[in-house]
A and B are shown apart, each in its own frame.
Chain A
Amino acid sequence: MAVEIDPIHQFQIFNIVDLGAPGGVHLGFTNSAAFMVGIVAAIFFFLTYATRGRTLVPGRLQSMAELSYEFVASTVRSTAGNEGMKFFPLVFSLFMFVLFANFVGMIPYSFTVTSHIVVTAALALVVIGTVIIYGFARHGTHFLHLFVPSGVPAFLLPFMVVIELISFLSRPISLSLRLFANMLAGHIAMKVFAGFIVMMTAGGVAGFFGAVLPLAMVVALTALEFLVAALQAYVFAVLTCIYLNDALHPGH
């Protein structure tokens, strides 16, 4: 009897509906796509269902919807100022998408959309793309002052520009990798420890009782993963706000 536990299997993507290869690119409605659709539907349903009564004194669900709104709104306002509120729908969408994706991923047997780097990278590029496009549209070449810190001696300036440039370019990478690696590593760790339980319980009485240790570990890791799921969504939103703030006020 071989217990086969594959901690990587949970990240596998398969086609539910194969859409063929129009233009030579293979496309399909995958399990990932199904979860994305489900996440969007869940967010929309949650927010509209919770506010269906539009009551003056909010109920439990409406409080949650209002809380998420005010939480993101205050984050945007405190990091990017009142001007940043024009990006509020974007930041809110990113936050809710990442949050719901992370939490949905915590459901056993489900798929974690944000555990794929192409998804997190695409979200990060949306942020950086918005920053660059809005920055140039709003400030023109003045946006480039972002890379030229003021009050720096002339001989240091070339180095500073290079450093600023590298730091700017590394933003989308760090933004996408942070979320991707957190979700990937957390889910692998949980799966590995859960695998230990299965293996040890199959290994006799000593193993059966010894399995308490990895079980405790899995419980702790699950709690940690819930924290990480919320935290990473928040970090993603906050960093988005900080980067958007650069687009709004590039002069430091």
Chain B
Amino acid sequence: MSETHGPAGTFILAQSSPTPEAPAPGTGTHSGVEIGVPPAEAHGSGFPPFDATTFPSQLIWLAITFVALYLLMSRIALPRIATILEERHDRIADDLEEAGKLKSESETAAKAYEQALTGARGKATAIASETREKLSGEAETGRKALEAELAAKLADAEAKIAATKTSAMANVRGIAVDAAGAIVNQLTGAEPAPQAVEAAVDKAIGS
């Protein structure tokens, strides 16, 4: 270290004296660094940790503060942290249990759903085929009924046409008889006998 000190002179590692002009040991006499052991009067009886005059104060305050610390820790701080940790532990255990329960529940639900799905599918097929059969059956009967109705209507219409034809033919004969009678009356001026007119008309129609 001796090569590093400069012109400022001697550096003394000694007790911190409040008066800088107080002569420190080694000043001026020899250059060099002195890490000196402080004189006894600077720190009471020397090395502070072995200064017995400070022991009572330190012990008293250590006792007061440490008892206070112990009481604060054991009564307030530690129970508080313990509660927090316990609550978390309980909560995690509860959550895990709940999760397990929910998982098994969801598994049973999935199984039930699967079963319901298969059942529903079967039922749907059955309903579909049943409906198809029913509908085709209904359509068949409807068609048959309609056909029968139409046939009946046709026969009815045919009968009506025949009746109308015969009545029309009868009317034609009456009109011919009247017309023939009138024609004869105009030509001869004599009223012909209706029976002779009818016979003549019948003879003419019949021929």
- With known contacts A8-B48, A89-B70, A93-B70, A192–B78 Cβ distance under 8 A: no
B70 touches A116 (CB 8 A): no
Residues of A within 8 A of B51 (CB): 13
B57 touches A28 (CB 8 A): yes
A9 to B14, CA, bound (A): 9
A202 touches B62 (CB 8 A): no
Q: Which of B11, B68, B91 contacts A199 (CB under 8 A)?
A: B11
B24 touches A30 (CB 8 A): no
For this complex, into which size category does the number of interface residues on chain A fall? 35 or more
B47 touches A40 (CB 8 A): no
A56 to B94, CA, bound (A): 14
Stretch at the interface among A46-54, A150-158, A217-225, A226-234: A46-54
Residues of B within 8 A of A66 (CB): 81, 84-85
B72 touches A8 (CB 8 A): no
For this complex, into which size category does the number of interface residues on chain B fall? 35 or more
A36 lies within 8 A of chain B by Cβ? yes
Residues of B within 8 A of A25 (CB): 56
A196 lies within 8 A of chain B by Cβ? yes
Q: For window 1-34 of chain B, which residues contact chain A by CB distance below 8 Å?
A: 1, 3-17, 20, 24, 27, 33
In whole Å, how far is B67's beta carbon from the nearest beta carbon of chain A?
A: 9
A2 touches B10 (CB 8 A): yes
Residues of A within 8 A of B58 (CB): 13, 30, 32-33, 116, 118-119
B43 lies within 8 A of chain A by Cβ? yes
A44 touches B69 (CB 8 A): yes
Residues of A within 8 A of B87 (CB): 54, 56
Residues of B within 8 A of A62 (CB): 84
B55 lies within 8 A of chain A by Cβ? yes
B113 lies within 8 A of chain A by Cβ? no
- With known contacts A4-B16, A89-B70, A192–B35 Cβ distance under 8 A: yes
Binary B-proximity of A38-64 (CB < 8 A = 1, otherwise 0) = 011001100110010010101000100
A6 to B70, CA, bound (A): 36
Q: Which 8 A-B pairs have the closest CB atoms?
A: A33-B61, A203-B6, A89-B74, A204-B6, A47-B77, A36-B65, A207-B4, A11-B48
Using CB atoms and an 8 Å cutoff, list the residues of chain A in contact with chain B.
1-9, 11-13, 15, 19, 25-30, 32-33, 36-37, 39-40, 43-44, 47-48, 51, 54, 56, 58, 62, 65-66, 69-70, 88-90, 92-93, 96-97, 115-119, 122-123, 126, 180, 184, 192, 195-196, 198-200, 202-204, 206-207, 210
A4-B17, A36-B65, A39-B65 given; 19 more Cβ-contact pairs under 8 Å: A1-B9, A3-B11, A4-B15, A4-B20, A9-B15, A9-B16, A12-B43, A27-B57, A30-B57, A32-B54, A32-B61, A36-B66, A40-B66, A48-B80, A66-B85, A89-B73, A122-B59, A180-B49, A207-B5
